[in-house]
């Protein structure tokens, strides 16, 4: 065993994009290896849960935890890594705010299984439905149980830092890793507990180079319906729902720069309590209509407002779920 | 005596019209149901949809927003902003299973105490018909302290096992 500080990374309910973003820091990954001993990182190395269980409490210096909490397995590992880690970072949108998996909170678990196993697009002639435990001659086989709804990491355990993004931008990851290495060398100090790291404190609009005028929206369009989009003018001003006004800066307004609307993956801007509510405020303010019928007609241009406003943030919003996830 | 469901209603009123209408109703001894808790804003345009969502998440069964009649806003046209926010908020909440009827927008001038009292009473009856919303108190379930009562405890996958294979 080396005496280098220990590093872990885990994926709960996630897509793996966060791990790719970490590898996208290119040769900086060698600095991670030079400064840390990687003790647990399922996507990159072979390690078992019981190896982590055998470690001393608080013996891992830094754990980047990505993915949301979908199953009892996710929840168990979140608790385990919390115990074993000095610094636990909710890494990426899934861990900080639920992200795309969090949209499952609009449906009860039974509906999710029905769609996955029993709809016409699934070839399942014997109508097999996964069970959490099954008896075979060799013994009992078990699978993790899905929680009734997705939780964020901070809803399950105490979290030290939050790093937003789907995935976090690689230059932001590199900056955070640099900081931690500097802290190890005594050249810098860690930010206060609970801080959002690797992101800005303002909104995507603040970093967006497009020109903004007074917005007066008469109709909302899907982006493919307004080709070509004016490359210099605010996207929302052109009637395409852009989530920049409520979304945290830090990505350098990557999507608006290349002609795509912001979908809000960096989560709520500093001080925003409910991301969707803030977007409702922003969108409703710029609609140029006063008659209810005309307003409703303009709003028809946003066919799925819940998905538009809570695409990444549902599990961390004030309501967190649809009534379908808990109401009997 | 049968227990009747008493809805909790949060009402946001405008300083220049509906708050004074409620005051006028009081002065004139016009009675309205005590289910509504009125909160004064400077204008209905001050209404951040966060307030409404927070009210629902905190246990309210319905939310009333009231402002000056169209064209009468003390701040020129902010009540139209409130109108657009309420319409968009209703659509968004519908996607989360909240009946749009739980959010009501009422125009009431400072002189319309009677009308406001009547609107409050009829809204309370509408929400009473819809029944309790009863949003779970999420903070109490965080960090493993599961205290959602059995009534609304959600069913985890595995508890509803039905083997078909």
* 3-class secondary structure, A260: coil
Residues 6+ apart with CB under 8 A from A207: A200, A249, A251, A252, A253
With tokens 């609307």, the residue in question is A261
Query: Which segments of A152-216 are extended strands (E)?
Result: 161-163
Instruction: Output the pLDDT for position A295.
Output: 97
The per-residue pLDDT for range A212-240, each reduced to its tens digit, is 999 999 999 999 988 789 999 999 999 99
Instruction: Output the pLDDT for position B148.
Output: 45
**Between B149 and B10, whose confidence is greater?**
B10
Give me the CATH number covering residue B85. Answer: 3.40.50
Q: Which of B49, B95, B154 sits opposite A325 (nearest CB)?
A: B154
The per-residue pLDDT for range A252-296, each reduced to its tens digit, is 999 999 999 999 999 999 999 999 999 999 999 999 999 999 999
B77 is a domain residue: yes
- Of the pLDDT bands very low, low, confident and very high (cuts 50, 70, 90), residue B157 is low
B156 is a domain residue: no
Residues in chain B within 8 Å Cβ distance of A82:
none
For Cα atoms A258, A261, A263, give the angle at the middle one, nearest 5 degrees: 120
CA distance B63 to B51: 9
Average pLDDT over residues A322-326: 93
Query: DSSP label at A310?
Result: H
Instruction: Output the pLDDT for position B158.
Output: 54
For chain B, the domain total comes to 1
Q: Does B1 reach chain A within 8 Å, measured CB to CB?
A: no
Is the Cβ pair B158, A289 closer than 8 Å? no
Q: SS3 for B73-127, per residue? A: CCCCCHHHHHHHHHHHHHHHHHCCCCCHHHEEEEECCCCCHHHHHHHHHHHHHHH
The per-residue pLDDT for range A52-80, each reduced to its tens digit, is 999 999 999 999 999 999 999 999 999 99
- What is the average pLDDT score of chain B? 89
Instruction: Output the pLDDT for position B143.
Output: 80
B139 is a domain residue: no
The per-residue pLDDT for range B92-108, each reduced to its tens digit, is 999 999 999 999 999 99
Q: Are A166 and A93 in contact (CB under 8 A)?
A: yes
Closest-CA distance of chain B to residue A12, Å: 17
Q: Does B154 reach chain A within 8 Å, measured CB to CB?
A: yes
Domain span holding position B19: 9-134
Question: Mutate which of B60, B61, B68, B92 to test chain A, going by most A C-beta atoms within 10 A?
Answer: B92
Question: Mutate which of A73, A140, A323 to test chain B, going by most B C-beta atoms within 10 A?
Answer: A323
The per-residue pLDDT for range B12-43, each reduced to its tens digit, is 999 999 999 999 999 999 999 999 999 999 99
The per-residue pLDDT for range A113-159, each reduced to its tens digit, is 999 999 988 999 998 888 999 999 999 999 999 999 999 999 999 99
CA distance A316 to A152: 7
Instruction: Output the pLDDT for position B155.
Output: 54
Residue range A6-101+148-184 forms a domain whose CATH class is alpha beta
CA distance A135 to A246: 50
Average pLDDT over residues B83-94: 98
Paired with A65 in beta bridges are A10, A90
Is the Cβ pair B53, A274 closer than 8 Å? yes
List, as ranges, residues 83-102 from B with C-beta within 8 Å of A. 83-85, 87-89, 91-92, 94-98
Instruction: Output the pLDDT for position B154.
Output: 52
B65: enclosing H helix or E strand: strand B62-67
Q: Are A72 and A147 in contact (CB under 8 A)?
A: yes
Packing angle between helix A275-285 and helix B78-94, nearest 10 degrees?
130
Instruction: Output the pLDDT for position A3.
Output: 85
The per-residue pLDDT for range A149-206, each reduced to its tens digit, is 999 999 999 999 999 999 999 999 999 999 999 999 999 999 999 999 999 999 999 9
CA distance A95 to A70: 11
Q: Does B157 reach chain A within 8 Å, measured CB to CB?
A: yes
Instruction: Output the pLDDT for position B141.
Output: 79
With a cut of 50, say whether residue B150 has pLDDT above it: no
B126 is a domain residue: yes
**Between B162 and A318, whose confidence is greater?**
A318
Average pLDDT over residues A292-313: 97
Domain definitions of chain A by residue range? 6-101+148-184, 111-146, 204-325
């Amino acid at each position: 065993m080396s005496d280098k500080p220990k590093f872990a990374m885990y994926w709960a309910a996630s897509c793996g994009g966060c791990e790719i973003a970490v590898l996208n820091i290119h040769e900086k990954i060698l600095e991670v290896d030079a400064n840390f001993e990687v003790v647990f990182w399922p996507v990159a190395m072979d390690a078992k849960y019981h190896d982590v269980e055998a470690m001393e409490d608080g013996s891992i210096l830094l754990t980047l935890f990505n993915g949301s909490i979908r199953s009892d397995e996710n929840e168990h590992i979140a608790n385990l890594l919390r115990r074993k880690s000095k610094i636990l970072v909710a890494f990426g949108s899934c861990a900080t705010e639920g992200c795309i998996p969090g949209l499952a909170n609009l449906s009860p678990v039974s509906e999710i299984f029905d769609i996955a196993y029993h709809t016409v697009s699934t070839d399942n002639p014997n109508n097999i439905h996964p069970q959490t435990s099954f008896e075979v001659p060799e013994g009992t086989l078990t699978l993790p149980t899905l929680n009734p709804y997705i939780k964020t990491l901070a809803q399950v355990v105490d979290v030290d830092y939050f790093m937003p993004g789907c995935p976090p931008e690689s230059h932001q990851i590199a900056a955070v890793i640099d900081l931690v290495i500097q802290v190890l060398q005594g050249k810098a100090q860690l930010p206060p507990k609970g801080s959002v790291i690797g992101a800005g404190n303002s909104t995507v609009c603040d970093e967006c180079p497009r020109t903004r005028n007074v917005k007066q929206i008469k109709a909302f369009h899907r982006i493919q319906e307004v080709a070509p989009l004016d490359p210099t003018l605010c996207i929302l001003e052109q009637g395409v729902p852009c989530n920049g006004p409520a979304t945290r800066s830090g990505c350098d307004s990557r999507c608006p720069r290349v002609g795509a609307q912001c979908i809000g993956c960096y989560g709520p801007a500093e001080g925003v309590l409910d991301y969707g509510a803030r977007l409702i405020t922003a969108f409703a303010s710029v609609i140029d209509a006063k008659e209810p019928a005309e307003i409703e007609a303009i709003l028809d241009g946003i066919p799925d407002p819940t998905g538009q406003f809570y695409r990444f943030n549902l599990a961390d919003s004030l309501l967190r779920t649809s009534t379908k996830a808990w109401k009997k | 005596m049968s227990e009747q469901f008493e809805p909790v209603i949060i009402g946001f009123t405008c300083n220049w019209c509906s708050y004074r209408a409620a005051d006028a109703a009081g002065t004139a001894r016009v009675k309205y149901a005590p289910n509504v808790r009125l909160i004064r804003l400077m204008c209905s345009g001050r209404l951040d949809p966060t307030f409404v969502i927070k009210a629902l998440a905190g246990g309210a069964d319905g939310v009333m927003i009231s402002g000056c009649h169209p064209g009468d806003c003390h701040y020129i046209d902010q009540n139209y902003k409130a109108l657009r926010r309420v319409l968009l908020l209703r659509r968004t909440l519908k996607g989360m299973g909240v009946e749009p009827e739980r959010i009501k927008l009422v125009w009431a001038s400072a002189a319309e105490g009677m009308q406001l009292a009547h609107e409050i009473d009829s809204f309370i009856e509408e929400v009473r018909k819809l029944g309790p919303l009863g949003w779970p108190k999420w903070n109490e379930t965080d960090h493993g302290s599961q205290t959602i009562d059995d009534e609304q405890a959600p069913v985890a996958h595995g508890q509803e096992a039905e083997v078909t294979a």
